Amino acid sequence: MACPLQSARRVSCRLISLVVVVAVSSASAGPDARIHLGAILQYDGRFFIDDAADPHVDQFAFRSTRVDLAATLYDHYDVKFVPDFAGSKVVVQDAYFDVRYTDVFRLRFGKMKVPFGLERLQDERNTTFTERGFPTLLAPNRDLGVEAFGELACGVIAYQLGIFNGVADGGSSDGDVSDDKDGAARLFVRPFAHGPGFVKELGFGGAVTYGEQHGHLASPDVGAYHTAAQTTFFQLASGSDTAFADGRHWRATAQGYWYTGPFGVLGESVRSQQHVVLGTRHDLVEAEAWQVLGQWVITGEQASYKSVTPAHPYGAFDVAARVTEIRIVDPGAFDNGFADATRSARRAWSAGVGTDWFPNRSVRFMLDADRTWFTRGAKLGDRPSETSIIGRAQLAF
């Protein structure tokens, strides 16, 4: 039997070889093919302050080491392939192709981001903070499916409709554990997309997902929630008594942003409800989360959902702040034993500040500080609050 590490290395080598072949062949690509090869490297340092009551590990780690391969074939077919090698393992983040004959209606097939969370849909290299806020914990990440999407009224209205295998809150998947599928729909409006500059980047919308999920002991198909510093503060029962998805799962979100000049604000609220089973007991796990964040580009460049483009020889600088909260709405998750009240918090809220330096379009340095407070989650009373500092050096092209 092959060693799992050896198998992972073989897969990594094959993917790297494929990327090299594509890179070399792109130079000789004909007029019917346009190929772009890029990369995303995110190197983090995570440090905890006053964590003696609940010690964590300070560490350096790669958050992302991704190859970004994009191609357009015959003007109407777009291909995206993004493998990630962080953590000494290979994960295919995106692998899809689009059929595009008009901006009003396009089709996408493969593994992609589920059209739901506003901050989740923001490109990884463009998020205001190193880690996304609590609403993203309830939003689906990436899944296999088919999506129709497009823009109406010259970009004023954007829509997305899709059918997917279905994933747990915050989860990604390369397969499915049942025959049931999830539907997803999102609508986003920029009413003044062609209006005055101060309201041109004002947008708002909403999204829903709905479906049936049925996990099992080997694959529970339920989510776990963690802080910005990646420490878990809520999870359902596991081990000999495992809670897993068993029925209807729906999510809903309201979302919006407004960027004007050097200022920007983004807000999002998400609610998720999942039917679960533990032995012969059935219950609902219902959670809701929200966040509001603001950004100021102090060197005067335009703030944007798509990051900041520096206009000075020394680059651009910004500062940001956010408040975000998540809570378990249904107390039955604890009262009926689906979650361990001595380990899982009923509520968490966090306040954070951050600053960034953009020397150029490809390089970014980030420094964030977050403090998170919890309700319950310890053997006696509340889990100790967590203070973390996260620094990131990012190269993306």
What pLDDT digit, counting tens, does each position of 277-321 carry? 988 888 889 999 999 999 999 999 999 999 999 999 999 999 999
Say yes or no to pLDDT of 27 above 80. no
Say yes or no to pLDDT of 11 above 70. no
pLDDT at 2: 45
What pLDDT digit, counting tens, does each position of 121-159 carry? 999 999 999 999 999 999 999 999 999 999 999 999 999
Say yes or no to pLDDT of 175 above 90. no
The β-bridge partners of 213 are 247
Say yes or no to pLDDT of 23 above 60. no
Q: Average pLDDT, stretch 96-104? A: 97
Going by pLDDT thresholds of 50, 70 and 90, the confidence category of residue 366 is very high
Q: Average pLDDT, stretch 19-29? A: 48
Round to whole Å and give the CA distance between 133 and 308.
Answer: 20
Q: Pull the structure tokens for residue 213.
A: 């999920």
Q: Average pLDDT, stretch 22-28? A: 47
What pLDDT digit, counting tens, does each position of 246-265 carry? 999 999 999 999 999 999 99
Which domains are seen in the chain, by residue range?
Answer: 38-396 (2.40.160.10)
pLDDT at 217: 80
